[in-house]
Structure 1
Amino acid sequence: MWLFALFVAVPIIEIALFIQVGGLIGLWPTLLIVVVTAILGTQLVRQQGALALSQLRQSFSELNDPSEPLAHGALILLSGALLLTPGFFTDTVGFLLLIPAFRSFVFRELRKRIKVQGFVMGQQNMPPHQDGFRNQPGGPTTIDGEWQEIDREGDSASNDPQAPSGWTRH
C-alpha cells in the first residue's frame, strides 16, 4: 500500500513544485534548471558509480562482506534514475543519495529492517558436480596419465572374447 501512495504522492509533489518554482522564476529558467540538474547528476552518478565499483572489487579481493558496497551501488543507480526524472523533489532525493554519508545512513536504516539468513564467501556451499562430488580435499582424485591405443588388426584373437583386452601386455 505504501508503494501505491508513493507513486501517487511523488507526481503530485513534483507538479506542485513545478507550479511554485515556475511562478517565481518563469518557465524557461525552470526548464533550464531541470536540464542542468540532469546533466550534472549524470556526471556525478558516473563518478560515484566508478568509486562504488572499485570498492566492490576491493571487498571481493579482500574477501570482505560485499553487502555495503553493493548497497551503495544500488543506491547510486537509484540516484541516477531519480536525477534523470524531471522534477525538483526527485532531484533533491537523487543528489542526497550521491552523498556517501547519506548513503551510509540509508544503508544502516535498511539493514535494521532486513534480515539476512546467511552469507558465505568461497566454495563451501557450491553444488556438487555431475558425478556427485566436489573437487575438494578428501574427494575423488584425478590422475593424469598417458595412453596409447593398440591396434590389433589382422589378429584373429582380437575378436575372441577370451583374448586379452588390449589394455594389458602379454
Structure 2
Amino acid sequence: MRNWMWAALLIIPGVELFGFIWVSERIGAGSTILMIVLTSLIGIAMMQFEGRKVMQDTQREMKNGQVPGRKMLDGLCVFVGGMLLVIPGFVTDIIGFTLLFPLTRPLYRLFLLKWLEKKLKEGKIRIHRRF
C-alpha cells in the first residue's frame, strides 16, 4: 500500500505541473492562475452545499430508523472531492468535481463499496457493535 502512495506523491505533482504549463501556453499564465483560484473557491462552495445536503439526508434516514450507509459514502466522496478542488491543479479539479456532482458520485461509491467488501472479506476491516 505504501508503494502506491509514494508513486502518487511523485506522479501527481508532475502531472499537475504539466497540465499547468500546457494550459498556460494556450490561455496565458494569468488566466490559468485565475482559473485555479476560481475552481478552488467553487470547490469550497460546492463542498459546503453538497455536504449540508448529505448531512440532512443522513439525519432524515437516521430519524426513519434506517442505516445511512450510502449517505456516509456520499459524505466521504464530498469531503475528498472538496479537498481535491482546493489543491491547485487541473487533474485533481476534474476528479474533485466528479466526486462532488451527484450524477457522477455513484461511480465512486460503487468503487468504494467493492473496496470495502474486499477488505471486510480479507478481515482487514472489522465492525464492532456497541449496545
Same fold, judged at TM 0.5 (above): yes
Give, as a single letter, the amino acid of the residue that structure 1 aligns with 2:91. Answer: F
Match of 2:70 in 1: 68
The CA deviation string for residues 91-121 of structure 1, in whole angstroms up to 9 with x for no partner, is 111111111132212111221121355586x
SS at 1:4 equivalent: helix
For residues 64 and 55 of structure 1, the distance between their equivalents in structure 2, rounded to whole angstroms, comes to: 11
For residues 5 and 66 of structure 2, the distance between their equivalents in structure 1, rounded to whole angstroms, comes to: 33
For residues 66 and 33 of structure 1, the distance between their equivalents in structure 2, rounded to whole angstroms, comes to: 36
For residues 57 and 50 of structure 2, the distance between their equivalents in structure 1, rounded to whole angstroms, comes to: 11
Q: Which has the higher helix share?
A: 2
> Mind listing any 5+ residue stretches in structure 2 that lack a counterpart?
121-125
The CA deviation string for residues 130-155 of structure 1, in whole angstroms up to 9 with x for no partner, is xxxxxxxxxxxxxxxxxxxxxxxxxx
Give the one of 27, 30, 42 matched to 1:28: 30
SS at 1:63 equivalent: coil
> Mind listing any 5+ residue stretches in structure 1 that lack a counterpart?
127-170
For residues 33 and 113 of structure 1, the distance between their equivalents in structure 2, rounded to whole angstroms, comes to: 34
Measured after TM superposition, the shift of residue 7 of structure 1 is: 1.5
Give, as a single letter, the amino acid of the residue that structure 2 aligns with 1:57. Answer: Q
Give the one of 18, 27, 37 matched to 1:16: 18
| Identical residues among aligned pairs (%) | 27
Q: Of the two structures, which has the highest relative contact order with CA contacts closer than 8 Å and spacing of 6 or more?
A: 2
Match of 2:86 in 1: 84
Give, as a single letter, the amino acid of the residue that structure 2 aligns with 1:23. Answer: E
TM-score, normalised to structure 2, is: 0.85
Measured after TM superposition, the shift of residue 73 of structure 1 is: 0.7
**What is the 5 A alignment of 1:21-60?**
21-60=23-62
Computing the radius of gyration from Cα coordinates, the structure with the larger value is 1
Taking only aligned residues, the RMSD between alpha carbons, in angstroms, comes to 1.6
TM-score, normalised to structure 1, is: 0.66
